[in-house]
Chain A
């Protein structure tokens, strides 16, 4: 059942559930941060509107810098600002930042320990009709291997606000991953977010399988959990919005009596959230894991939810994956 302690959206399972994009939460989060802290600075590389920093630009023109289409330059300029006491958010698409400018991030942001936040927008196949060139499906792998870097993937609009506000209040490099598409609102303003802690959104006294989901796919995982329960199968669903830092003990405790795990992400299965979960579990709690995500292939053009179904990442696909795992 839904974890009532988390005060989630009570209309989560209704057909009229509200859909808002996580990138809108980012824009909102920046505005509230800017109001409190005059050192918040925003940079973009010709993507102000689609990365939702246009309102910031309008309200705080003196703290906004347009860098043109130059993601390497943008992130290194941010690194320069970030060592002077400014707290800088760079906004671009994840395929370009951290895709195109990865080494610049490695050297000038992470190794240099500059106060720079990388907002990677249009991540995953959810970028839809633009096609695979614009669907970042490798970005989590790229950033989570970088020392000093924190990595977060909000599951919905409200969590996007909370995570943006959180990283805006701490020093140092951080990456936040956002989707283009409007996705169901899962949480409320009262739902807790704690860095490193990943809460179980669907709980059970005796789960047969633990589902770890990241980003908007948490929604489809919760739908799958509900359907499974209707068939008498108990699972637990964990929202892995905090990829790094992560409380490893917490992950192990959730799995140790179950040992059957499904990971769900809109990302390549190599190097992503599922890889991270398996790295943790293989140390102390070896488990059977089904990795859901892109299986070493690129996405393609199509409508967003069509693509989610095609790649088997919807509630039906997740439910079937759980059933298959339980047969093993």
Chain B
């Protein structure tokens, strides 16, 4: 288990995250509907997962030994689709079919439509339970695969989440890691106004989980924490990844309007400019 990661690798993962963000903006503009903030905020986590942490073979999505990634908050699927296409699960050109008639890229992920998806999701609160099922099967079959679940923070309003958190501890599922996109927004406003969640870390710890609280837009921290939790035994782990919703696009950051809306053509142009110049920190041909 590496205790550190080279600067070169971090840079590579940051570049992949940037590519994912650009693809997200293009996809949402094409689709004309969908969620902007969540996918952009989680680009660093998905870059880390798909290009570093996951043990997977994109050309063999059914490979038995693969690590499983369950996306519980299905509405941020553009980030997953972008990461999958960049990894080679399907052609990049297919991304522009998002939400279109006949597409394998459904508005919310549908397992049997697209190889590489582990579950069907959208309705919130159901992903950790399904991941528990997959993790239990891994234990029964004596497989070494690890099950990762990405969840939203707002979806922790759902009772089902806490049912599953209890069960994960009950069965000591150390092959299970939940990553919470702690971006503090949900459809009706800021999470702490809609239904306070804090302290999420204390909540999970009191339920018998190992908990980490990190900067979810810091690739080095993400990767090292994902490595670390694999060394925790006899209990499942949660990583509370504090992310900036809309990360990388200045007018989308921390604004809950962008939770459930796509950019229009003009906004997409501004967003691409932001991303390609890293908010005017670098020069770009754009």
> Which positions 62-114 of chain A face chain B at CB distance < 8 Å?
62-63, 65, 67-68, 70, 72-74, 76-86, 88, 103-104, 107-108, 111-113
Count of A-B contacts judged by CB separation below 8 Å: 101
Taken residue by residue from 40 to 53, chain A's Cβ proximity to chain B (1 for < 8 Å, 0 otherwise) reads as 01000000000000
Q: Which of B122, B160, B166 has the most CB of A within 10 A?
A: B160
B contacts with A, residue count (CB < 8 A): 32
Contact in complex: B136, A77 (CB < 8 Å):
yes
- Cα(A74)–Cα(B170), bound, Å: 13
The interface stretch among B51-59, B124-132, B187-195 is B124-132
Contact in complex: B167, A107 (CB < 8 Å):
no
- Cα(A213)–Cα(B229), bound, Å: 57
Contact in complex: A111, B167 (CB < 8 Å):
no
Question: Which B residues are in CB contact (< 8 Å) with A68?
Answer: 163, 166-167, 170
Contact in complex: A104, B160 (CB < 8 Å):
yes
- Cα(A112)–Cα(B130), bound, Å: 11
Taken residue by residue from 50 to 68, chain B's Cβ proximity to chain A (1 for < 8 Å, 0 otherwise) reads as 0000000000000000000
Contact in complex: B111, A72 (CB < 8 Å):
no
- Cα(A217)–Cα(B122), bound, Å: 40
Contact in complex: B130, A70 (CB < 8 Å):
no
- Cα(A62)–Cα(B123), bound, Å: 31
Contact in complex: A70, B163 (CB < 8 Å):
yes
Q: Which of A82, A108, A113 contacts B126 (CB 8 A)?
A: A108
Chain B residue with the shortest CB-CB distance to A45: B163
- Cα(A304)–Cα(B197), bound, Å: 46
A contacts with B, residue count (CB < 8 A): 29
Shortest C-beta distance, B223 to chain A (Å), equals: 26
Interface flag for B133 (CB, 8 Å): yes
- Cα(A65)–Cα(B136), bound, Å: 9
The verdict on A73 contacting B167 (CB below 8 Å), with A107-B123, A107-B126 known, is: yes
Q: Which of B111, B138, B141, B163 contacts A83 (CB 8 A)?
A: B111
Contact in complex: B129, A76 (CB < 8 Å):
yes
Contact in complex: A107, B121 (CB < 8 Å):
yes
The verdict on A84 contacting B134 (CB below 8 Å), with A72-B126, A73-B160, A77-B129 known, is: yes
Contact in complex: B119, A83 (CB < 8 Å):
yes
Contact in complex: A72, B130 (CB < 8 Å):
no
Interface flag for B140 (CB, 8 Å): yes
Question: Which B residues are in CB contact (< 8 Å) with A108?
Answer: 119-120, 126, 129-130
The verdict on A62 contacting B159 (CB below 8 Å), with A80-B133, A83-B119 known, is: no
- Cα(A113)–Cα(B120), bound, Å: 9
- Cα(A74)–Cα(B167), bound, Å: 10
- Cα(A85)–Cα(B138), bound, Å: 11
25 contacts between A and B (CB under 8 A): A65-B136, A68-B166, A68-B167, A68-B170, A70-B160, A70-B163, A72-B125, A76-B126, A77-B129, A77-B132, A77-B164, A79-B119, A79-B130, A80-B70, A80-B131, A80-B136, A81-B136, A83-B119, A83-B130, A86-B133, A86-B137, A86-B140, A104-B160, A112-B110, A112-B111
Which of A's residues lie within 8 Å of B, judged by CB?
A: 41, 62-63, 65, 67-68, 70, 72-74, 76-86, 88, 103-104, 107-108, 111-113
19 additional A-B pairs beyond A65-B136, A76-B160, beta carbons within 8 Å, are A63-B140, A65-B171, A72-B129, A73-B129, A76-B130, A77-B130, A79-B130, A80-B70, A80-B130, A80-B131, A80-B137, A103-B123, A104-B123, A104-B126, A107-B120, A107-B121, A108-B119, A111-B120, A113-B112
